Structure 1
Amino acid sequence: MKTAKGLKRFALSFRMALRPDRIRLASGLVLMIFLTGHLLNHALGLISLNAMEVGRDIFLAFWRSVPGTILLLGAIILHIALVFYKLLRHRSYRRLAGRDIFQIILGLLIPPLLVLHIIGTRVAHEVYGIEDSYSYVLFSLWIATPIQALLQSVALIIAWVHGCLGVHFWLRLKPWYGKILPVLYSLALILPVLSLSGFINGANEAERLFADTEWRDAFFARLNLPPDLIGWAYSTRDIGFQVMFAALGLLVISRVYWTIRYRRRKVNVISYPEEKVVLAAPGLSILEASQLGNIPHASVCGGRGRCSTCRVRITEGWDKLNPPSDKEIAVLRRVGAPEGTRLACQSIPSGDISVIPLLPATATVRQAFNQPAYLQGQEREIAILFADLRAFTKFSEQKLPYDVVFVINQYFRHMGEAIEQNGGHLDKFIGDGVMALFGLNENSKTASRMALNAARSMAEELEIMNQNLKLDLPAPLKIGIGIHVGQVIVGQMGYGSATSVTAIGDPVNTASRLEALTKEYSSQLIFSDKVANLVAEDFSELQHESVDIRGRVEPLGIYIVKNARRLPYFTV
């Protein structure tokens, strides 16, 4: 059984690795490595032409070996073929993001700009045995045909920008990418500048050498160029141009094909919350339909099916969607998406459906990372802690605004540290109050112990704060804390920048009521019977009562703690 499961997992992993987008990415990375080495080789021209030649020998030792040739040629063929295949399958270019269109245009410009250079170097080397040294290349570009020097410099920049954009679109979904982005960005700017500077410096040195008649004659004698080389190079380039024009014509035909095919079919009705409806042509994905209908819809990766920020919940018409691919399943599994969730960019309806976008349109890369399942909305039994400063309003009326802000920030810092050090999640600060959640990733017993430990730490931190600020405070600050545990709905809620992980439900209201009761009992902490039962410790020395809580039918047993610092530390 284990062997069968292992083989199944291996087969799935192998199938995932052979996905066209993965192969396209891998081939692009190979070409980017080749281009980076090429630029570094150019940069050696800042030292001398001889340094460029030495660097070329090292560079070509791998790339002109049998493995290197297979790797490079395979990467070129696969990358061009898979990009062309992707462009043919695009049902519409109108809704592509501007950055994607820019990258596509750059990619389409590379072959016509580089084809003559490739023919005059690698192909000429293989066909005629030409030693395409830097002296030969710089003579061909800089001295014989100066316009080619300009075109190749432009091609170098275009290829570099195209590759950098591809790497950026891939890496920006990695959690660590933001930290190294400034370094990579700086290198991406510096390398082509050094390369072009080295190219110009090397070209100037070559020009000086070619001014020496004796050196020039010896060079050409050693090179032994065939008389038909130039004519052959340009005729081969023209064949390449014909192939490129044919490919562009095929792309135009594909546009006509998709237009005719889908105009004959009935439009799909896609319903969104708040009674918004989009009539989408068949073949459009849900994300494309949202963009067509001006429905705000998150899509950090630009519809590539990598980031998961465009995910939607399908409320009607699940059977009218194309089956999820291995790629989509892997992304949804990565973020722990619940059943009924699809990626909008990968879901193509064949009929009427209803959807709910799960993330705000302003979602960032952070939402694309693997996140806890409770962020999607989950029912959990957790401990809720409310805390509030006593008589702080009166204090604030007697102090300058600067003093009030200083004190309240000190209070929030001390309380926040006490909560987080005991495993709690700071939900929000409300005026001079604090709400915290315990047990988002633990069981309710551990959550209850953590909450009581946090209350003890908060009381200790308040005492430290009172000592530190005794000269600034007319009287020591006092706090009231209420803790309850129960089944609540936890999730990421809010709007825009005010979105946060919070909890709603009756236990939250109960915890708030217990905090309010601390005024009535002149105590520092009140926690419920349920908390005490879960902690499973002896609380017989504490005052115990039953109270009526607004919103609850039955009385609630509570434990009253005058000084939370006297609580023992509970092992978690």
Structure 2
Amino acid sequence: MERPQGLKRVASSIRIALRPDRIRLASGVILMVFLTGHLLNHALGLISLNAMEVGRDIFLALWRSVPGTILLLGAISLHIALVFYKLLRHRSYRRLSGKDILQITLGLFIPPLVILHIIGTRVAHEIYGLEDSYTFVLFSLWVATPTLALLQSIALIVAWIHGCLGIHFWLRLKPWYEKKFSLLYSLALILPVISLSGFINGANEVERLFADADWRDAFFARLDLPPDLIGWAYTTRDIGFLVMFAALGVLILSRLYWTIRFRRRKVNAITYPDEKIVLAAPGLSILEASQLGNIPHASVCGGRGRCSTCRVRIMEGWDKLNPPSDKEIAVLRRVGAPEGTRLACQSVPTGDVSVIPLLPTTATVRQAFNQPAYLQGQEREIAILFADLRAFTKFSEQKLPYDVVFVINQYFRHMGEAIEENGGHLDKFIGDGVMALFGLSENSKTASRMALNAARSMANELEIMNENLKTDLPSPLKIGIGIHVGQVIVGQMGYGSATSITAIGDPVNTASRLESLTKEYASQLIFSDKVAKFAEDDFSELRHESVDIRGRVEPLGIYIVKDARRLPYFTV
């Protein structure tokens, strides 16, 4: 049974690797490596023309070898073909972002700008045996036809920006990219500058050499240009232009095709929360419909199906969507998306559907990667801890604002460290209170033990804090802690920058009530019977009572702890 499963995994990996978008990306990276090497070779002109020639020999040893030639020609052919295929399939360009439009536009300008340069170097070398050295190229561009020198400089900048945008769209989904962005951005700016500087410096050196008649005669004699080379080069360029115009015509016809095809079909009604409805033409994805109807919808990767931030829950009309592709399935698996989730950019309705966007419009790259399932909303049994400083309002009335802020920040730091060191998630600070969650990824036993350990640590930290600040405090700070465990709804909730992981449900209210009870019992910690049951320890020495909790029908058994520092440490 293992062998078929292994073969299936291998087949799945191969299928993913051979997806058109993966091949297009790989071919683009190869072309970017080639272009980077070419620019670095230009930059050697800052040293001398001879340095450029030495660099060229090394550069061509790689790219004019048989493997290098196959790799380069394959990358060029595949990239052009797959980009053309993508543009043909694109149903609408109106809702593309400015960066996407810029990248597409720059990409369309590259072939007409570089075709003559390619014909005059590599193609002429292969057909006529021309030695396309830097001296020859710089003479042809800078001395013989200065206008071409300007065009090739523009081509270099256009190709570089196009490639950098593509690399940016790819790498911005990597966790490390944000930290390295400033460095990479600086390198992306510096490289074309030093490349053009080297190009100009080398060209000036060729121009000085060309002023010497003996050098000029020797140069032309060694070059031995075929008489029909120039005419052939321009004729070949014109044929290339005709092919490009034909391709552009096909793209224009594809726009007419999509317009005519979908205007004949019934529009689809896409329903969003708050009863917002967008009437979208057939063929538009859910994300495109959102953009059409000005519905805020996250999409970090710009609708390329890479980031998953546009994912939606399909409430109605699952059967009226196109089947998810291998690409979409792989992305949804990566983030652990629950059943009923689709990528809005990859989902094309064929009828009326109802959806709920799952991420806020402020979603970042972090949400594009595998995250716990509870972030999207999940019912879990967890432990909830509430803590509150006693008589802090009175303290704050007697102190300057600076002193109050200093003390409260010290308190938050000590309590936060105690909670996090014991595996808790610091939910929020409420005034001088703290709410923490335990067991977001663990079982109830571990959650209860972690919460009790955290209470013990918090009591110890408060003692340390009181000792450190005894000269600033009129009396030692006191704390009340309440812990309860129960079934709650956990998820990422809030709005905008105030979004955070939190929990809602009756156990949260109960934990808060237990914290309030510490005042009545003059104790430092109160935890429920349920916490004690899951913790699986002997608490017979502790005071135990049953109390009525507002909002609960039945009395709740509680354990009262005068000093939480005396709790044993629980193994988790």
TM class by shorter-chain length? over 0.9
Give 1:8 deviation, angstroms: 1.1
CA distance in 2, matches of 1:78, 1:119: 19
Which residue in 2 is equivalent to 1:117? Answer: 117
Query: 5 Å matches for 1:418-457?
Result: 418-457=418-457
Q: Aligned to 2:552, what secondary structure does the other structure show?
A: coil
Give 1:486 deviation, angstroms: 1.0
Which residue in 1 is equivalent to 2:395? Answer: 395
Give 1:470 deviation, angstroms: 1.0
Which residue in 1 is equivalent to 2:26? Answer: 26
Which residue in 2 is equivalent to 1:370? Answer: 370
CA distance in 2, matches of 1:536, 1:482: 18
Cα deviation digits, residues 130-181 of structure 1 (max 9, x gap): 0000000000000000001010001001100100000000000111111111
CA distance in 1, matches of 2:539, 2:265: 72
AA in 1 matched with 2:290 = S
Which residue in 1 is equivalent to 2:348? Answer: 348
Cα deviation digits, residues 423-449 of structure 1 (max 9, x gap): 100000000000000111111111111
Give 1:293 deviation, angstroms: 0.7
Cα deviation digits, residues 239-286 of structure 1 (max 9, x gap): 000000000000000000000000000111111111111110000000
Which residue in 2 is equivalent to 1:223? Answer: 223
Query: 5 Å matches for 1:235-254?
Result: 235-254=235-254
Which residue in 1 is equivalent to 2:550? Answer: 550
AA in 1 matched with 2:378 = Q
Which residue in 1 is equivalent to 2:316? Answer: 316
Give 1:24 deviation, angstroms: 0.2
CA distance in 2, matches of 1:484, 1:278: 45
Cα deviation digits, residues 169-222 of structure 1 (max 9, x gap): 000011111111111111101111110000001011111111111111111111
CA distance in 1, matches of 2:362, 2:530: 40
Give 1:523 deviation, angstroms: 0.3
Give 1:361 deviation, angstroms: 1.5
Query: 5 Å matches for 1:194-205?
Result: 194-205=194-205
AA in 1 matched with 2:430 = I
CA distance in 1, matches of 2:536, 2:238: 85
CA distance in 2, matches of 1:484, 1:270: 43
Which residue in 2 is equivalent to 1:498? Answer: 498
Matched, 1:479 2:467: no
Query: 5 Å matches for 1:164-203?
Result: 164-203=164-203
Percent of paired sites with the same residue: 87
CA distance in 2, matches of 1:30, 1:457: 55
AA in 2 matched with 1:263 = R
Which residue in 1 is equivalent to 2:567? Answer: 567
Q: Aligned to 2:274, what secondary structure does the other structure show?
A: coil
Give 1:402 deviation, angstroms: 1.2
The total of aligned residue pairs comes to 572
Which residue in 1 is equivalent to 2:256? Answer: 256
The TM-score, its normalising length taken from structure 1, stands at 0.99
CA distance in 1, matches of 2:564, 2:279: 61
Give 1:236 deviation, angstroms: 0.4
Which residue in 1 is equivalent to 2:306? Answer: 306
AA in 2 matched with 1:425 = H
Give 1:99 deviation, angstroms: 0.7
Matched, 1:382 2:382: yes
CA distance in 1, matches of 2:374, 2:3: 33
CA distance in 1, matches of 2:202, 2:8: 56
Which residue in 1 is equivalent to 2:12? Answer: 12
CA distance in 2, matches of 1:180, 1:497: 24
AA in 2 matched with 1:211 = A
CA distance in 1, matches of 2:221, 2:193: 34
Which residue in 2 is equivalent to 1:105? Answer: 105
Which residue in 1 is equivalent to 2:266? Answer: 266
Give 1:5 deviation, angstroms: 1.2
Which residue in 2 is equivalent to 1:68? Answer: 68
Which residue in 1 is equivalent to 2:334? Answer: 334
Q: Name segments (4+ residues, structure 1) moved above 3 Å.
A: none
Matched, 1:281 2:281: yes
Give 1:567 deviation, angstroms: 1.0
Which residue in 2 is equivalent to 1:406? Answer: 406
AA in 1 matched with 2:506 = D
Give 1:2 deviation, angstroms: 1.4
Cα deviation digits, residues 382-404 of structure 1 (max 9, x gap): 11100000011111111111111
Give 1:552 deviation, angstroms: 1.3
CA distance in 1, matches of 2:23, 2:311: 24
Give 1:6 deviation, angstroms: 1.2
Give ranges in structure 1 of 5+ residues lacking alignment.
none
AA in 1 matched with 2:327 = K
Q: Aligned to 1:473, what secondary structure does the other structure show?
A: coil
Q: Aligned to 1:274, what secondary structure does the other structure show?
A: helix
CA distance in 1, matches of 2:143, 2:370: 56
CA distance in 1, matches of 2:361, 2:570: 43
CA distance in 2, matches of 1:451, 1:361: 34
Give 1:327 deviation, angstroms: 0.4
AA in 2 matched with 1:131 = E
Which residue in 1 is equivalent to 2:3? Answer: 3
CA distance in 2, matches of 1:489, 1:118: 62
Query: 5 Å matches for 1:206-221?
Result: 206-221=206-221
CA distance in 2, matches of 1:103, 1:28: 13
AA in 1 matched with 2:334 = R
CA distance in 1, matches of 2:57, 2:202: 16
AA in 2 matched with 1:52 = M
Give 1:226 deviation, angstroms: 0.3
